[in-house]
A and B are shown apart, each in its own frame.
Chain A
């Protein structure tokens, strides 16, 4: 089946530094990548949608200059949290869709980010 590899699975960083999260589709071409954020005991909230080769579309309230999304190839999308602060600590998870997956959404394993 479709697999999305997400790295790192967890990361601790200092305030003010940047962190890059990668999602790779291993056996299909991910034409669309959705990035979600999940705070403890809350639901998954969509941050942005990216299509390969295009600029990402951000949800209201999500700072595009802080959360940089790159989807330069059909198998790789990255989310960079720039100038991270403790309030950015969360579980970040990607979800990929490909042209051959009708209605299918494949989730990465998630990244637990802790900013200290």
Chain B
């Protein structure tokens, strides 16, 4: 089955700096890669996703890149703000299969 590795587990950045979180996946059949932001005690919130026919996608301060050959994808947050502090999860699926999540990255943005 699919295995998703996520790094780093914790990340601290100064407000205004960029944050990058990286994930790798094992199943070449995976073709959908969402990123979720989760605040304590709440459901994961989809912040951006990318499909395997696209190499990069951007939405304001958030971007995701996908390298299918290397089986890795990354989340980039620019101009970080304190409200970006949360746990971020990457995930992968092949469309009809359940999402398999990475272990999460606790991002702290220091004002």
Contacts and interface: CB of A to CB of B under 8 A. Distances in A.
A103 B51 contact: yes
Nearest to A6: B43
B71 to A, nearest CB: 18
Interface residues of B, number: 18
Nearest to A46: B98
Contacts of B93: 103, 105
Nearest to A105: B99
B44 interface: yes
A34 B98 contact: yes
Instruction: Bin chain A's interface residue count.
Output: 10 to 19
B103 A107 contact: no
Interface centre among A49, A95, A105 (most CB of B within 10 A): A105
A108 B43 contact: yes
Interface of chain B, main secondary structure: loop
B89 A44 contact: yes
Nearest to B45: A107
Nearest to B103: A43
Question: Which of A43, A102, A110 has the most chain B CB within a 10 Å cutoff?
Answer: A43
A93 interface: yes
A42 interface: yes
A71 interface: no
B101 A43 contact: yes
Interface in B25-66: 32, 34, 41-44, 49, 51
Most buried by A among B32, B42, B95, B99: B99
B100 interface: yes
A28 interface: no
A83 to B, nearest CB: 26
A44 B44 contact: yes
11 contacts: A34-B99, A43-B104, A44-B99, A46-B99, A46-B100, A49-B98, A93-B43, A103-B32, A103-B49, A103-B93, A110-B41
